[in-house]
Structure formats: C-alpha cells, structure tokens
Structure 1
Amino acid sequence: MSTTVLPTYDDAVARYEPVIGLETHVELGTNTKMFCGCPTEFGAEPNTQTCPVCLGLPGALPVANRAGIEATIRIGLALNCDIAEWCRMARKNYFYPDMPKNFQTSQYDEPLCVDGYVDVDVDGETFRIEIERVHLEEDTGKSLHVGGATGRIHGATESLVDYNRAGIPLVEIVTKPVTGLGARAPEVARAYVTELRDIIRSLDVSDVRMEQGSLRCDVNTSLNKPGEEWGTRTEAKNVNSLRSVERAVRSEIIRQSGILDAGGSILQETRHFQEDTGDTRPGRSKETATDYRYFPEPDLVPIAPDPAWVAELKAALPEKPSVKRARLREEWGISEVDMQSVANAGAVELIEETIAAGASPAGARKWWMGELARRANETGVELAAVGASPAQVAQLQALVDEGKINDKLARQVLEGVVAGEGDPAQVMSARGLEVVSDTGALQAAVDEAIAANPDVAAKIRDGKVAAAGALVGAVMKTTRGQADAKTVRELILARLS
C-alpha cells in the first residue's frame, strides 16, 4: 500500500465534517471497592488489595457499595440527567488478563442515569454536549509489559498483572454523537472534558487525576462529506490529559482525511494515542455490544433509588463550576476573556486556593497564568502537576510583597520550588537570592555605575531624572538582579542632587 499523504488540518476540515463522541471513565474515591471490602488506596504494593470477590474466585458473592451508587447519582444529577427509578447491573463478558472474573460487572440497557447535557464555552461561543448515559461499573486490573521499548505488549519479554485496581468503582459518562463543530471539534472536546473534570471535582467524589488514571477518556472520531452519512469511527483509548484529548481529535481528523482522500476506507478500531508524536497507532478491531454477550447480573439485586433520596441529593449539589466562575470573575475583577483563559488552562481552583492561602487575585493569577503555565506547556503536563502548590505560590508572592525578592529573583526561586528544592523561603535562602536593600552594600555599586556613565550622570544633574533608569539597570546588572531597585534609584538621585 502506498504511503498516505496527510493534508493540513485546515484542508481536512474544509472538505470533511468531523463527528466526535467521548466516553469518560471516572474512578470514584470510595474507601472500598464496588463489590467487596478491599481498600482502594492508590500506589499500594501490587496484588495486596485483593480478596476472593474481586479476584472472581468460585463461590464468592458481591455486595454493592452504597457510596458508589450515591456518587453515580450525584454525578448524573450534576450533568442534568434523569435518574432511573429501577435498573440492574449486567455482566459484560470478555477475556482480558487484567479482568480476573473474565467478565466485568457493568450496566448495559438499563443505566442509572440518562439524557443529560453539559454546556461548554470556547472563546465566547457556547456548545451543548448531550449526555447519553452515565452508568456504574467496576475497573479492571492493570497490565505492565516489560522488556520492550514502548511499554506495550508488542516487543515485551514478559507481562505482569496488578489486580489492586480490579473492582474499584468506575463511572462511565458517554456523550451522544456531537456534530456541527467544524474546525472547533478538538477545542470543544478538550473544553468538555475540562468542564466534566471540574464538575466531578466539585462533587468531591473523585480526585479526577488524569496522570494517575482516575480520569480517562476514550475519544471517538469520524469524518463525512457534507450532506453524507456519518463515517466509520475510531476510538483512541485511555487518553490521559486534557491537552492529549485535543491532540487526539486533531490527529484523527488529519489521518482519516488522508485515507479518504486517497480512496481508502476507515477501519472501525481502537487506537493508542502517542504522547511523543501526537498521533495514534492501531490497537484492535472494535467490538460491538453483541460481542460482549451482556446479560443481567444474577448475584446482585436491582438498584431502585428512592425518589425522595434522589431529591435530597439534588438539593445538596454544590455550586456549578460555570456559576462559580462567574462569581469568581466578579470577585477577582477580570474580564470574561481572561476568566475563560484561566478556565482553559485548568487554573480556576489553583488560583482560588492560592488566594485562600493569602495571595492577592492579581498575584495568584500572575504566577499560574504566566511562569507556571509556560512551564506546563513546555513540559507537556497539566498545570496542577507542574511542581508547585497553591500554598507555595502564595508564599512566593508574599516574599515579593515583603520586598525580600523582586519578580526576576522570584522566577529563580520558583525554578527551585518546581525542581523540588523546598518551599520558596528555603530556596531563596539556599540560593542566596534575597534582595540587597542595605544602603551601605549598594552605595559602592551606585558609585561605580555613576563613574562608568558620566554622560548619564550629567543629564541627571541637569534635572533629567528619568535618565536614572539607565544607572539603575547598570547597578542591577552588577548585583545580578538582587538590588532593591527603589533603594538604588534613591541613592542615585541623592548622590547626583
């Protein structure tokens, strides 16, 4: 087969209409697993959090976790879903090495929550993403492929399985196909997952940490010519960052367009998103519902939430993130455009927590949307994972406000914080970055600058005090930026008056 020539993204969306769908999996933060009493702590030694139930041993019977059911209902309510008055769990049959029972306890034709929606804003334009279903299931174990270069089974010399994650309650949120997005499809996909993450975090039912796998997204993409039926979709599995959700949609639009332009056909398959290259690679052919041979779970009673209980849960829902953003925008005194930039960067809660730790809104925003956002973009990580906490950012700004460091020195201090050298005060002390404001220590540097720039000094003596900026700069250079600029200016003007 000849090599497919890939078009540009703009060319692809000019000829084809993308249709996307997102299946988002959320690990709930319950203390125990969904159908047994095993703990759910992340990072425990492999296979130490298992029992006969989650390992699927003969004769072991499951019991549903009420907290998991409640969390699922709260998620459904927050997503404007209808809550089923009666539903059942089902067995989803398939063989994978990381599913010890050879079936997954899930839901099929009777989900707990249906017909919801989420509104997302992208550059002032609102898009409504319709939710088809929110259902409850259990997570699988985790496979580890070693001995190869990619960490995948191809090329590995051996595979290991950790069943600690098997049985952890998992909520799957499935959108209806999203059409009419045009070139904005990748941005809308990212905005949706961002909003979804914020909503779930506000409910305090999951830490939704994509880097730890507690929030994972399967990205479905297809293309069709305007006016034609939808094309064959592909599914990029387990995309684990907001940035990668956007990149996965964009990459598939370009790849599928190239194949269709060449007269080829799109295979319905799962694909793996490659963080390093930004494209997707083939996984396996995509199963259909009939392949899973769903049937009602015989060992669990149906779920029939009391309508009065559901009403209580709905009344106790927290403030919606979109409403909260509008309130914070007023409190912080920023424009809608600036607030949207903060939301798109995933910085709302980070800035809020920094302000709660003592920083001003302007100071908190400056660091998260400036230096820290730049570092996050350069390293390809989420802003929350860049290496500095809200408390540390508040401490950094306090050092600036107290005059102990200036913004230039603060960036060096922040560099040390991100590198794990300690809190801002510790980094400042260890690196010797504190501002020099002692007039005795600065006078010699001022005299040296005046002597080296007699023409500038003459202008200042003639009353042109604005020229003092050049001498201040010279002193700052001599002191490696550690001089207090205000003190230096005062010394210069006093010397030349």
Structure 2
Amino acid sequence: MEFTPVIGLEVHAQLKTRTKIFCGCSTAFGAPPNTHTCPVCLGMPGVLPVLNKKVVDYTIKMALATHCAVQPESRFARKNYFYPDLPKGYQISQYELPIATNGYLDIEVEGRSLRIGITRIHMEEDAGKLIHDPDRPISRVDLNRTGTPLMEIVSEPDIRSPEAAGEYLRRLRAILRYLDISDGNMEEGSFRCDANISIMPEGSTVFGTRTEVKNLNSFKHVEKALYYEIARQKEILLDGGQVAQETRLWQPDKGQTVSMRGKEDAHDYRYFPDPDLLPLVVDDAWVDRMRAQMPELPAQRQARYIADYGLSSADAKVLTGSRELSDYFEACLTEFDQPKTVANWIMGDLLGLLNAKGVEIENTPVSPENLAGLLKLLDADVISGKIAKTVFEAMAATGQPAKTIVAEKGLVQVSDTSAIDPVVDAVIAGHPNEADRYRGGQKKLMGFFVGQVMKQTRGKANPKVVNEILRKKLG
C-alpha cells in the first residue's frame, strides 16, 4: 500500500527588537545567565506587561509578505503549563484571536509551483532555557531568553514531501531576512521549527494520526526527520498497528526520532484571555504605514532578474535566496553591468569558495568591488580566463584588488602576435605527428595545440590570438 505524507509546520521566529515583548530588558544573545531579566519577565507578583509596539510592526510586515489578512482586533491569551524555564507558570501568546490569518506562500519544488496555506501568524513570548550539566544530574535555568518576542507562523497541512517542507522553510527564512525583522539564525535558536506529520493511504482525503517532531535546528535535519517519520509510521500501519499521537524528539546523531511525551491538545493548556493586556486594535492606517515600508521581496526580485537581466529561473532563485547574496549581486552590477557573467562567477567560484570555507556571503573575503574589478580585466582581455581563476584565489587570500595582484605577479595577458608566433612555431615543430593528423581532418586537436602554447606561456597568451595564429599556421 502506498501512502501520502501530510505535513504542517509551526515556525517560531525571534524578532530583531532591542528589547523584550512586554518589558525593557535586552534581547542580546550570549549574555551571562540571568543578567537580562527584570520583575516583569521573571513573573514577580504585582507586575504588569506592556506591549512592545515594534513587535506588532514586524508581525504586520510578515503578514503582508505572506498574503495574510491583518485582523482589526486580536487578543493575548495565557497558555498554562508548568516547566522550570517558565517562571510565571504560563506563556503569553495568542489563541482564539491571532493578529493575522488565512495567508499563503508560493514555493517551487522540482520545477512545480506549490501554494502552501498559512493558517495564522501570532505573537508570543519565549520561554527560558535549561542548561543540563554533562557530569551531574543537575539542570540550571537561564531566564535571559524569557520574554523575547516570537512570531509563530502556522502552515496548513498542505505540504506533501520533506523537500517541499525544506523549501517552504527556506523561503520563510528568506522573507524574514529581507524584511530585516529576524536574523533567522537556527544555531542560536532564533528560527525554530516543529513539524506535524501524518500519513494517509494514497487517494484518501482522511488524515492519519499525527506526531509532532521537535529539535529541528537545520533545514537538513527537518528533511531527514520527516523521511524517518514517514518510514516509521508506514511500517506501523503495514504491521496492523496504530500511530500514537505524541511529541517526538529528533536525534540527529542517531538519525531517528524518539518518543518525548504524549501530544497535548489545545484544551490541555487551559487558554484564557490575559486580563493584564487590552485587546490589540490595528486600524487601516497602521497597516498602510507598514505596507509603505515593505522592501522588494525574494519572489519580486526573482521575477525582476528574469525579466530585466535575462537570467534563468533557476539562477534567479539562487541569487535571491538571501538578501545578502542578492545585494552582493546588485553591488557587482553597479561596477560591471554584465548580469550573466556576474551571476556565473558568483554561483560558481564565489559560492564554491564560501562553501569550502564554511562562511556566509556577509563574511566573504572577496568584496563586490573586487570581483567586478576582476571581471573588468577579463572582459578587456587584460587577463585570460585561466589567469582570472588564479587572481580570484589571490584576492580571496589577500583581500587585494585584482589590478594590484595582476601588476605585482606580472599576469597581464600577452596579445602581441610577435611574442606568440615563435611559441606557436616551436609547438608545431615539436609535435609533427599531431600537426599531420590535424591537417588530415582531426580538427579536435586544436585544443591540444592551444593547451601546449598556454603551457609554454604559463597561461599568459591570449587564447583568441593563439587560436587565430594556429589556424593560419596549421592550414
């Protein structure tokens, strides 16, 4: 029996505000434990929360970017549960009346366009963090993160493959970073995902029992965990068993999920409106102010790159995958206006370099100005393509501009026929058999002769000139 996966994702994005959602404590990452706290976020008796307006601004922007309807009135609720990192014994969130509903995000997977519905977007506060002692059965509580503003984005169960789930998450993260409302750093926990997964017989419309998978801190882990869960649930059903509704933990080192606890339903949290916070009223003027501040988003940039620069859909998708990479591409174009050439070098040599070094584009050792300078020299035939690769490596190692490296290393391309002629004569004379075969019709040997000349000139000869001279001399 074949099964169809049914996947819904709950994404928590930490917002880039300087202070917490209901108090003035700093949200900076990496401070000593329990130093960014106050009576409000510690849940001391008698304190009152005050909503951070910037959190609402950011959430409205995300709602607009994902085609959600911004609700004129929303409410905060108390989500009640007991855990050591939750000092109040409840989390302030939104439940029945979230700030945004009924949106969608279009993604592309294996050449197919898919629309993933977004059920809701709501605001809430983060909990603290437990630090487990590796040597003793002791856990410590750090409440610095308590009260940090989160935006939760809940998808419809429209996702049907792990690959689609990964692409949806990448697109969401890109939008958050384009809007500059979240840094989307999964390692620091500012972009977190819980996956709800079930399977149903192919052709059925009745969803199966779902499990929730937590501890998914990379796109790769999300996809691997979903593949594992699909296989696990399929095996249970084929053996005549029933999938338990539960929360499971992904163990990346073992490549498997393990049972964590029974899955809670909404009524288990005993939601009720927070009596300390008034209903949030968002009028049209507020929404219009946020709409006026919206930047060009990834899908819009991708369409522009295809229409204006003649790039393929695949290339435009790569270049708009992050705001930083897209900005780098456009910075190069201001210096060297040949989009396809710039795109090829960025997606080939530059991204290859960054992947090898394990760094992001914002930490690239080759600036946009330096890459454009290299491409100008290549375009003007000052250097050859082979030398350009060498210069690129030197730029990455030293940070120097291409012009300086070419001058210091004497890498200027030789186009003078009087200097190339004797080298060509020597190569032909040294390979008489190959010359006869070429003249006998084996024209592919031209590449051999060009390679020999380039070798003799240490890559400095202009390949175009070399080809012309060889064609004349070989007949």
Letter in 1 for 2:176: I
CA drift at 1:94: 1.9
Say whether residues 1:231 and 2:218 are aligned partners: no
Deviation digits for residues 297-350 of structure 1 (CA, Å, limit 9, x no counterpart)? 22222211233322333354334432331112112212335435656xx35751
C-alpha separation in 1, matches of 2:472 and 2:272: 88
Question: For residue 328 of structure 2, what is the aligned residue in structure 1?
Answer: 353
Question: For residue 348 of structure 2, what is the aligned residue in structure 1?
Answer: 370
Say whether residues 1:395 and 2:370 are aligned partners: yes
Secondary structure in structure 1 of the residue aligned to 2:237: helix
Question: For residue 64 of structure 1, what is the aligned residue in structure 2?
Answer: 51
CA drift at 1:206: 1.6
Confirm or deny: 8 A CA contact 2:324 2:362 kept in the other structure.
no
Question: For residue 139 of structure 1, what is the aligned residue in structure 2?
Answer: 126
Question: For residue 189 of structure 2, what is the aligned residue in structure 1?
Answer: 213
C-alpha separation in 2, matches of 1:293 and 1:406: 70
Confirm or deny: 8 A CA contact 2:210 2:245 kept in the other structure.
yes
In the superposition, the TM-score normalised over structure 2's length comes to 0.80
Question: For residue 197 of structure 1, what is the aligned residue in structure 2?
Answer: 173
C-alpha separation in 2, matches of 1:313 and 1:397: 35
Question: For residue 151 of structure 2, what is the aligned residue in structure 1?
Answer: 171
C-alpha separation in 1, matches of 2:283 and 2:372: 50
Where structure 1 has 5 or more consecutive residues not aligned to the other structure, the ranges are 1-13, 149-155
Question: For residue 285 of structure 2, what is the aligned residue in structure 1?
Answer: 308
Question: For residue 112 of structure 2, what is the aligned residue in structure 1?
Answer: 125
Confirm or deny: 8 A CA contact 2:324 2:361 kept in the other structure.
no
C-alpha separation in 1, matches of 2:393 and 2:260: 39
Deviation digits for residues 144-166 of structure 1 (CA, Å, limit 9, x no counterpart)? 33527xxxxxxx75444433222
Question: For residue 272 of structure 2, what is the aligned residue in structure 1?
Answer: 295
Label 1:257 to 1:37 Cα distance change in 2 as closer, same or farther (>3 A): same
Question: For residue 92 of structure 2, what is the aligned residue in structure 1?
Answer: 105
Confirm or deny: 8 A CA contact 1:436 1:442 kept in the other structure.
no
Label 1:146 to 1:468 Cα distance change in 2 as closer, same or farther (>3 A): farther
Match of 2:73 among 86, 96, 103: 86
Secondary structure in structure 2 of the residue aligned to 1:370: helix
Match of 2:222 among 236, 239, 245: 245
CA drift at 1:113: 1.2
Secondary structure in structure 1 of the residue aligned to 2:249: strand
Question: For residue 28 of structure 2, what is the aligned residue in structure 1?
Answer: 41
Label 1:60 to 1:433 Cα distance change in 2 as closer, same or farther (>3 A): farther
Letter in 1 for 2:311: I
Where structure 2 has 5 or more consecutive residues not aligned to the other structure, the ranges are none
Match of 1:327 among 286, 304, 325: 304
C-alpha separation in 1, matches of 2:73 and 2:12: 23
C-alpha separation in 1, matches of 2:256 and 2:457: 48
Aligned residues between the structures: 465
| Greater Cα shift, 287-296 or 312-321 | 312-321
Percent identity, aligned pairs only?
44
C-alpha separation in 1, matches of 2:218 and 2:197: 17
Label 1:178 to 1:189 Cα distance change in 2 as closer, same or farther (>3 A): same
Secondary structure in structure 1 of the residue aligned to 2:281: coil
Deviation digits for residues 110-152 of structure 1 (CA, Å, limit 9, x no counterpart)? 211122222223344332222211110011223333527xxxx
Letter in 2 for 1:134: I
Match of 1:286 among 263, 266, 270: 263
| Greater Cα shift, 401-410 or 432-441 | 432-441
C-alpha separation in 2, matches of 1:246 and 1:393: 33
CA drift at 1:18: 1.5
Letter in 1 for 2:175: I
CA drift at 1:376: 7.8
Letter in 2 for 1:365: A
Letter in 1 for 2:249: H
CA drift at 1:398: 3.3
Label 1:263 to 1:467 Cα distance change in 2 as closer, same or farther (>3 A): same
Deviation digits for residues 387-428 of structure 1 (CA, Å, limit 9, x no counterpart)? 85396366345335425876566667777888xx553659x9
C-alpha separation in 1, matches of 2:431 and 2:131: 66
Label 1:52 to 1:336 Cα distance change in 2 as closer, same or farther (>3 A): same
C-alpha separation in 2, matches of 1:417 and 1:145: 44
Say whether residues 1:254 and 2:231 are aligned partners: yes
C-alpha separation in 2, matches of 1:85 and 1:293: 25
CA drift at 1:22: 0.9
CA drift at 1:484: 6.5
In the superposition, the TM-score normalised over structure 1's length comes to 0.77
Secondary structure in structure 2 of the residue aligned to 1:350: helix
Confirm or deny: 8 A CA contact 1:354 1:394 kept in the other structure.
no
Question: For residue 164 of structure 2, what is the aligned residue in structure 1?
Answer: 188
Across the aligned residues of Structure 1 and Structure 2, the Cα RMSD in angstroms comes to 4.1
